[in-house]
Amino acid sequence: MNIDLRGRTALVTGSTQGIGLAIAEDLAAAGARVVVNGRTQERVDAAVAGLSGDVVGVAADVATDDGVAALARALPDVDILVNNLGIFGATPAREITDEQWRKYFEVNVLAAARLIRTYLPAMTERGWGRVIQIASDSALVIPEEMIHYGVSKTALLALSRGFAKDTAGTGVTVNSVIAGPTHTAGVEDFVYQLVDKSLPWEQAQREFMRAHRPQSLLQRLIEPAEIAHLVTYLASPLASATTGAAVRVDGGYVDSIVP
């Protein structure tokens, strides 16, 4: 399968590490001009320095109105928007505060909505564009240890479906990627919140999957590059008939025979 994104500009939010960084790397390998985004210039510069291809960086906190405005000034137009920015963490259900609920919606949902509003008009005007939200298996299988995160990711699926209807017939596609339990530095920290901190990583990972994600058919954490490959396909012309979809790359975690 030949994916050629030369001549396309892609913005990946929250791309200084983890899944976002892997997506940026994969899109650049396919020929896209990739814009790495994070909150601090230092982290953005470090990420850009570690990537090959046509890669630049813009530091901006896109979870705020001012951050999105600053990003739009630096980057007025994109062809591919990947809303990867997200936060997660374990909190007992009855202890989740209003402040935490608001923060999770601000970062995980409203940041994506702001960026879609910012970049969608030019995409529809020229008749081509790709908008991709990185969601989670937690949108469908709400984890009891982080209900606020799961609910925010459910909302992100609805956001994608709604904007896909808004762009019907324009040549712009809007999709979500349902990522399963993935191996990132942040997830390593999360795993050690739930299992014995004295365990070596491989053993801790197996214990986490056994105790907290037993329905995974992979029975291991997914590597970020495996998520990135699906995103790159959805960003390409080859995925022109896929829109309004929630596409799973979850290792079989969600017990469903439909996407």
Which residues are tagged catalytic?
Answer: 149
| Angstrom distance (rounded) from CA 200 to CA 66 | 42
Quick check: 30 and 5 in contact, CB under 8 A?
A: yes
Cα separation, 119 vs 122, whole angstroms: 6
CA distance 255 to 215: 7
The 3-state DSSP composition of the chain as helix, strand, coil percent (nearest 5) reads 45, 15, 35
Residue type at 1 in one-letter notation: M
Query: Is residue 83 within 8 Å of 129, Cβ to Cβ?
Result: no
> Angle at Cα 177 formed by Cα 171 and Cα 180, nearest 5°?
170
The rounded distance, in Å, linking the Cα atoms of 170 and 156 is 21
Rounded Cα–Cα distance for residues 175 and 195 (Å): 34
